[in-house]
Amino acid sequence: QVQLVESGGGLVQPGGSLRLSCAASGSIFRINRMGWYRQAPGNERELVAVIISGGSTIYADSVKSRFTISRDNAKNTVYLQMNTLKPEDAAVYYCNADVWSLNGYTRGYWGQGTQVTVSS
């Protein structure tokens, strides 16, 4: 019933920037936590950044000072501004959300993933 749709991935040179977006849709009353995860080939999925409804954020050490997570509650959308991208940032980036809806409170809705490639 709740869907997360991501956009903004693509190919960028090292040092470049991308902005990812994830829009949640469905019978949503409120979104508590929204976050971004990433998974590179051969690696486990890892936390990148999380933001809760009040605006508090946490970041993986590897992206602090380079990435910024934000949200627009009116649009049920979360963003990830990625600056100074490095080759090791290349991965499939997934949106994740904990949502109050007509189905109750559900943790861990996932988006389909969007590919980020960092290469010269």
Residue 99 burial by Cβ neighbours in a 10 Å radius (0-12, 13-18, 19+): buried
Average pLDDT, the chain: 96
User: Residues in the chain, how many?
Assistant: 120
**Token digits for 92?**
């499939």
Alpha carbons 69 and 25: distance in angstroms, whole number: 19
Give the pLDDT band of residue 53 (cuts 50, 70, 90): confident
Alpha carbons 95 and 20: distance in angstroms, whole number: 9
The predicted model gives 46-57 an average pLDDT of 94
The predicted model gives 110-120 an average pLDDT of 97
- Above 90 in pLDDT, residue 9? yes
Percent of the chain with pLDDT over 90: 93
What's the pLDDT at 14? 98
Q: What angle do CA 105, 21, 45 make, to 5 degrees?
A: 70
What's the pLDDT at 50? 98
Q: Closest by alpha carbon to 22, among 89, 94, 86? A: 94
What's the pLDDT at 115? 98
Give the pLDDT band of residue 84 (cuts 50, 70, 90): very high
